[in-house]
């Protein structure tokens, strides 16, 4: 998680009265909400509200967000051309899930309308990668501006509304496990090491409190991963249920908070690549860690300096991982035929590598302008019906002329 932060009015000691004049029902205090992770064992934040955050007027079903997987008759590579997806829905209901397993869901979203209701993901940390667009994430921790190529990291149970300034194009990663900074980037005191590819200065949290003082019914749609019944044979249909809560007040009635659980942004262009005399393996590009997968950033960088260095990745068999690359911008030196917003999925057990001709073509190249997001998952990924509609069926044979 990012570093300790505090904003607004908080008492000198935890779990003591944060006093005020008057207040809700004349009780003369602000109301403490403790947001914990891993039970009480990991990072937490403490938030102070004008009113108790537990005042619920109504609870009702709000549908589901099902995942419709396809049964694949063969193990093969995939190229998904997601740039062809049309605009649809809002930043929540317009999400198109493409790849998933029990640890992670990868979706694309090109919203055509603004988010109306507040939203809370109760079962997953979210990373919203802003391929195109800018705007502000509004939460009880305060407004958080974001821009193109930002990773917007939203801890689970954070209620939010995302507002864009113009069009937006998003990659969304939902992690059922806790998303963290890689532990090997941290020194024993919890500070990012000097050799890490980014520092605390690159992680941006809220800088002002939210403080929306509205005593009026406010709805929040809550998503949780309670599996739905399977439909027929095969992987079937599963996903998440949605529940609509009507609260007695706006939940952003916050006067202050402190802790280490809050949303933050990190821009992919702030990643400082680690390069060497010969080709470095993908773990040097790691950006975030989570149970079941790692998330990496392939940022623009100088290439290998040895006169005989092969400057594109070597052929590789993923023995225990599925590899997903999402292509953001620039020319990816080892790959032909991919385009902006393409996904490639190279599953476990079969080799993949540079396309024919790219090894020799890279010999005199000194710099790459590529920007891509990579996930290595340690359990196999399943394709959804939406993904299959974007699949380039000829991709597995694109190495055949080599």
**Residues 131, 175: Cα–Cα separation, whole Å:** 19
Per the structure block, which two tokens stand in for 397? 């044979």
More reliable by pLDDT, 360 or 177: 177
The pLDDT value given to residue 83: 94
How many Cβ atoms are within 10 Å of 394's Cβ, its own excluded?
Answer: 10
Residue among 340, 349, 356, 362 at smallest CA distance from 397: 356
Helix (H) or strand (E) holding 361: helix 358-361
**Residues 203, 98: Cα–Cα separation, whole Å:** 28
Average predicted confidence (pLDDT) for the chain: 91
More reliable by pLDDT, 357 or 191: 191
Under DSSP, the state recorded for 193 is P
- Mean pLDDT across 62-79: 90
Banded model confidence at residue 401, pLDDT cuts 50, 70, 90? confident
The pLDDT value given to residue 225: 86
**Residues 287, 196: Cα–Cα separation, whole Å:** 10
Q: What are phi and psi of 224, to 5 degrees?
A: -140, 150
| Extended strands (E) in 115-189 | 118-121, 125-132, 135-139, 144-146, 150-154, 159-164, 169-175
**Residues 40, 226: Cα–Cα separation, whole Å:** 23
- pTM, full prediction: 0.93
Please say whether the dihedral angle defined by the alpha carbons of residues 325, 329, 333 and 338, taken in this order, is positive or negative: positive
Per the structure block, which two tokens stand in for 4? 């300790």
Under DSSP, the state recorded for 107 is E
pLDDT, tens digit, for every residue of 141-186? 999 999 999 999 999 999 999 999 999 999 999 999 999 999 999 9
pLDDT at residue 351 is higher than 90:
no
Question: Cα 126 to the chain's mean position, in Å?
Answer: 4
Using an 8 Å Cβ cutoff, are 162 and 115 in contact?
A: yes
* Domains parsed from the chain with CATH numbers: 270-397 (2.60.120.10)
Banded model confidence at residue 238, pLDDT cuts 50, 70, 90? low
The pLDDT value given to residue 203: 98
- Mean pLDDT across 234-245: 74
**Residues 234, 232: Cα–Cα separation, whole Å:** 7
């Amino acid at each position: 998680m990012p570093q300790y932060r505090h904003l607004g009015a908080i008492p000198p000691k935890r779990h003591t009265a944060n006093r005020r004049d008057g207040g809700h029902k004349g009780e003369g205090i602000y109301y403490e909400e403790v947001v914990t992770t891993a039970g009480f064992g990991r990072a937490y934040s403490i938030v102070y509200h004008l009113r108790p955050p537990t005042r619920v007027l109504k609870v009702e079903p709000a549908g589901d967000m099902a995942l419709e997987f396809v049964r694949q008759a063969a193990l093969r590579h995939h190229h998904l051309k997601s740039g062809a997806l049309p605009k649809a829905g809002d930043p929540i209901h317009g999400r198109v899930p493409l790849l998933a397993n029990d640890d992670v869901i990868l979706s694309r979203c090109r919203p055509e309308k603004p988010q109306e209701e507040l939203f809370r993901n109760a079962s997953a940390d979210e990373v919203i990668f802003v391929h195109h667009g800018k705007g502000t994430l509004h939460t009880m921790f305060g407004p958080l501006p974001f821009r193109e190529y930002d990773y917007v990291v939203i801890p689970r149970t954070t209620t939010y509304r995302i507002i864009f300034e113009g069009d937006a194009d998003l990659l969304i990663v939902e992690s059922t496990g806790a998303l963290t900074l890689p532990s090997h980037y941290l020194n024993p005191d919890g500070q990012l090491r000097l050799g890490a590819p980014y520092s605390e200065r690159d992680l941006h949290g809220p800088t002002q409190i939210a403080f929306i003082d509205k005593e009026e019914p406010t709805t929040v749609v809550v998503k949780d991963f309670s599996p739905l019944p399977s439909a027929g044979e095969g992987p079937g249909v599963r996903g998440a249920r949605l529940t609509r809560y009507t609260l007695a007040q706006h939940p952003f009635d916050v006067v202050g908070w402190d802790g280490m659980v809050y949303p933050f942004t990190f821009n992919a262009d702030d990643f400082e690549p680690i390069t060497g005399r010969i080709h470095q393996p993908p773990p040097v590009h790691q950006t975030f860690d989570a149970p079941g997968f790692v998330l990496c950033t392939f940022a623009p960088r100088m290439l290998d300096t040895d006169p005989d260095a092969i400057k594109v990745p070597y052929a590789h068999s993923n023995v225990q991982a599925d590899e997903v690359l999402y292509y953001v911008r620039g020319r990816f030196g080892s790959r032909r035929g991919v385009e902006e917003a393409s996904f490639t999925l190279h599953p476990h057990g079969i080799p993949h590598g540079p396309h024919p001709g790219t090894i020799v073509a890279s010999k005199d190249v000194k710099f790459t302008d590529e920007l891509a997001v990579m996930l290595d998952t340690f359990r196999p990924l399943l394709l959804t019906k939406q993904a299959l509609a974007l699949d380039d069926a000829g991709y597995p044979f694109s190495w055949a002329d080599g």
